[in-house]
Every structure is written in C-alpha cells, then in structure tokens.
Amino acid sequence: MKHQGRVFITGIAGFAGSYLAEYLHSEGYYVSGLLAPGERTDNIKMILPDLKLERFDILRYDRLAKLIRKIKPDYIFHLAALSSVGKSFDSVRKVFDINFAGTLNLFESAKDAPYNPKKIVFVGSSDSYGLFKPIGKILKINQPFNPISPYGISKAAGEYLATYYCRTAGLPVVRARAFNHTGPKQTADFVVPSFCRQIARIEKGKKKPEIAVGNLSARRDISDVRDIVRGYFLMARKGRAGDVYQLCSGKAVAIQSVLNKLLAMSNRKIKITVDKSRLRKSDIPVLRGDNSKTIKDLGWKIRYKLNDTLKDTLEYWREVTA
C-alpha cells in the first residue's frame, strides 16, 4: 500500500492513541510515535512491527525536537497525558508536568523544526469546563472554562498554549475537545471498564457478587473511542488551524443507567455497593456537548451506539480476566 503521509503520535500506546495508530495504519500512513519510559506496548501489539517508536520522557525537549526534525511528520497528534481525573488530585505536580510542560515541549519542538507540519491536533478535554450554570445545559464551544480538577486545569492550559502557538508562531494547531469515551482496552481506572472488569471477575467466580461503585448520579456524554479517533483524523485532514472541535455524542446518560445496561448483559445477580474511595473530591454533575460544528465542518458521524460499545467492552474484559 502506498503511504499517504507521515504521522507522529505522542501517547501512541495509550488507550485512544493505540486506536488512532491502528486507524492511521489501516489508512496507509507511515506511523511513528513516542512511548513513555517503562510504558507497555500491549495495546499496539497487532501493528507493532510496522511502527517506528521512540521511548523517552516527553519532558526531554532536546530529544523531542531532534525526533520531530528527523521524522518530518505531515501530521502530529498530541495525546500523551495523565488522563485520570480522579487520580489527578493525588498527582498534581506530575499532571502539570506531563500535560502542560509536555505540551509546551511539543509546540516548541514543532516551532523550531525547519518545516511546518500540515496540522497538529491537540487533544483537550470537556473536563476543562468544570462547574457551570445552569447544570445540565448543552456545552457549546464558547462556554467559558472553569475547571475544578488538576486534570481539567492542565487541559485548559494546554488549549491556551495551542492558541498562543497558532497565533504567534503560525503553527497549524487544531484543538479537539473530547468528551468521555470508552471501549475495549481502556484501563479499569475509568468507570465503564471498572464495571466491566468487576462483572467479568464475578462471572468467573473470582469475586463475590457485589460491584463497588462511586457516584452513580453523574451524567456523562459518552462516545466510543473508535468514533473519537476518527474525529481526530478528520480534524487533521479537514480542520481549520486555530479552531476547536467538540467530539461527543450530544447526549448525557446517567452512570446509573450505564451500570444497569451492563448488569443486564450478565446472567449473574449482582449487588451494588457504594465504595467511598471511588467518590471524587469534586465532581461535575452533568457533561453534555454540542457536536454540530464537527458534523457540519468535518463530515464526522457517530457509528457506534452506546449499547454496542458497552457490549464490546464487557466482552473484552471477559476475555482478558484470568
């Protein structure tokens, strides 16, 4: 297959990064990426022989700048981040180092390269919106940021960096504001795979028939990771430098409803128990986005229904749970 171009992905072995790598590989791109020190490559094992990977800390500006000059990627996708909202409260400095300083290093590396990539996709987060009024309103692109978690703050700061480098250095940066997304391979630090892993362990007799939960009243806009990474690709190809695109379903679903759907997929009778350690220090009651611009400008379409995503994720955990 003729190569369509060169792409560079930070966070390539992560959850979304691995799906993006697989998608771009299938589309005929020459895929390279950055691995963090000690990071496993299980998520990309199917295409590992075809990838060009480097392993070092994204805080090493010198190595990152040298690598980008060497690869000369047509498109850069910046996904490297510490992405757990809950864990960010206990790792504030590390979150800001990776999510903000790492982003700064990437933009500086691209600015100092002797060529301009066609597009740089910065992956932000709906968590940057934080608390807002009235609760439950549809979040549009012009909604002011008011983040309440270290993760949300770091992603909001990354967006400001993206805007700055686009305006002052002419970097062709587009910003993806991704809402919650899930699917097979996501770690059990996140709500849907946490539920799925517990159900799989119960079904195999590894755990008593009780599922530990946190706040079930929260409502989230949940998409399939495979739809989200296709959105990243369309942003690289069709997005306008300086613009922001929201990737979301446009619907808010209660976590209680998600749990009920998953429990209905099991033939075991499972009791629900609240685990106080799973309750966040601060939680946004409702997150619901507006994807109209993304659909209109990029031709993005949602292909996976929530039930299908949940079923695929549960099947994945049934397969990997020993």
pLDDT in tens, 198-257: 999 999 999 999 999 999 999 999 999 999 999 999 999 999 999 999 999 999 999 999
Is residue 232 assigned to a domain? Answer: yes
148 and 277 in one domain? no
63 and 28 in one domain? yes
Rounded distance, CA 59 to CA 98, Å? Answer: 7
Name the nearest CA neighbour of 155 among 226, 79, 86, 91.
Answer: 79
Q: In the structure, how many helices (H) and strands (E) does the chain have?
A: 11, 13
| CATH code for position 113 | 3.40.50.720
175 and 283 in one domain? no
47 and 195 in one domain? no
Is residue 17 assigned to a domain? Answer: yes
Q: What angle do CA 300, 124, 279 make, to 5 degrees?
A: 110
Is residue 245 assigned to a domain? Answer: yes
- Give the three-state DSSP class for 308: helix
Is residue 82 assigned to a domain? Answer: yes
C-beta separation of 73 from 117 below 8 A? yes
- Number of domains composing the chain: 2
177 and 299 in one domain? yes
| CATH code for position 277 | 3.90.25.10
pLDDT in tens, 185-209: 999 999 999 999 999 999 999 999 9
95 and 18 in one domain? yes
120 and 206 in one domain? no
Is residue 136 assigned to a domain? Answer: yes
- Report mean pLDDT in 10-residue bins for the chain, 322 residues: 87 98 97 97 97 98 97 98 92 98 98 95 97 94 96 98 98 98 96 98 96 94 98 98 98 97 97 84 86 98 98 98 83
Is residue 214 assigned to a domain? Answer: yes
203 and 157 in one domain? no
92 and 29 in one domain? yes
- Give the three-state DSSP class for 277: helix
Pull the structure tokens for residue 268: 């075991």
Pull the structure tokens for residue 38: 């000690």
C-beta separation of 163 from 205 below 8 A? no
The whole domain housing 209 covers: 191-219+252-287+307-320
Rounded distance, CA 208 to CA 271, Å? Answer: 9
Is residue 1 assigned to a domain? Answer: no
135 and 84 in one domain? yes
Pull the structure tokens for residue 162: 């993206």
200 and 76 in one domain? no
Quick one: CA dihedral 51, 314, 286, 84, positive or negative?
A: negative
* Residue 197 confidence (pLDDT): 98
* Residue matched to tokens 């979150």: 95
Name the nearest CA neighbour of 60 among 23, 96, 101.
Answer: 101
110 and 206 in one domain? no
* Residue 96 confidence (pLDDT): 98
Is residue 177 assigned to a domain? Answer: yes
